[in-house]
Amino acid sequence: MPTFRLLRTATLAAATGALLLAAVPAHAAGHDRTPADFHPELDHAGSTVAAHEGRSGTPLQSLAVTQTKGMDVSSWQGNVNWSGAAANGARFAYVKATEGTNYTNPYFTQQYNGSYNAGLIRGAYHFALPNVSTGATQATWFVNHGGGWSADGKTLPPALDIEYNPYGATCYGLTRAAMVSWIRDFSNTVHTRTGRYPVIYTTTDWWTTCTGNNAGFGTTSPLWIARYAATVGTLPAGWTFQTIWQYADSGPLPGDQNYFNGAYDRLQALAKG
């Protein structure tokens, strides 16, 4: 074969390989890719919600089912006054443990153990970055750094915070099918490691946009819905009720304001599995 044909063939092969590699998400190739402007201290359950969906009121004073007050916190709150939160009516708390595959909340011990010592039922959550690494990789990082569970009646199931991308494209550059696969990968890994499927934190708008309103998780994962309005509104497909409602991103309790959809004994039942 003439030399120019060999060179042309090699060039085409290299270009084709580069295009194929560019079409594969970084995590699929086995490489973690942390955003250049990584700011995990600003990312928490609901940190992107108001900017995308706004605020349109506070919960109705009279709700059909007894609601139990709770909160969620991250490094943004620093050291929390847990005895004060308990005195103000908090009965449960979710604490951010991890984000992506290389961040852990520096206040996690104070927040996770402190809430427990103050008598709250507490759990840990992971802020997902689905474009950084696989669901299994992030679930493993999470469970290894605070996202465990024990049947002590004081520990809520691990939770997955999956919401608008704080670093770019709303759906992290994944197709709807790829996003569903990522969530299932995370969910199954958490279940294998802890014996519990994760609670899923999301909004109806994000879930519809980025998963195609997939209905495949309602039978295994409790729903933690975010909506800053008078009612929870329409829920994502697969769920007929919310287990937790994050109804405001500020209020009388430190961090975000939440209601567990039931009386305290039902909250205990969720913790016990």
- Fill in the DSSP letter of residue 76: G
Task: Output phi, psi for 174, to 5 deg.
Answer: -95, 145
**What gap in Å lies between CA 123 and CA 269, rounded to an integer?**
14
**What gap in Å lies between CA 170 and CA 162, rounded to an integer?**
11
Catalytic residue among 72, 161, 205, 249: 72
SS3 content of the chain, % helix, strand, coil (to 5): 35, 15, 50
| Coil, strand or helix at 263 | coil
163 belongs to the catalytic site: yes
Closest CA to 235 of 190, 201, 266: 201
**What gap in Å lies between CA 270 and CA 251, rounded to an integer?**
25
Closest CA to 96 of 33, 144, 160: 160
CA 2 from chain centre, in angstroms, equals 58
| Phi-psi map region of 212: left, alpha, beta (phi>0 left; psi -120 to 50 alpha) | left
What stretches of the chain show up as alpha helix (H) in DSSP?
3-23, 49-53, 82-87, 108-117, 135-144, 176-194, 204-211, 264-272
Catalytic residue among 43, 99, 161, 163: 163
72 belongs to the catalytic site: yes
**What gap in Å lies between CA 238 and CA 224, rounded to an integer?**
13
**What gap in Å lies between CA 189 and CA 184, rounded to an integer?**
8
Q: Catalytic positions, please? A: 72, 163
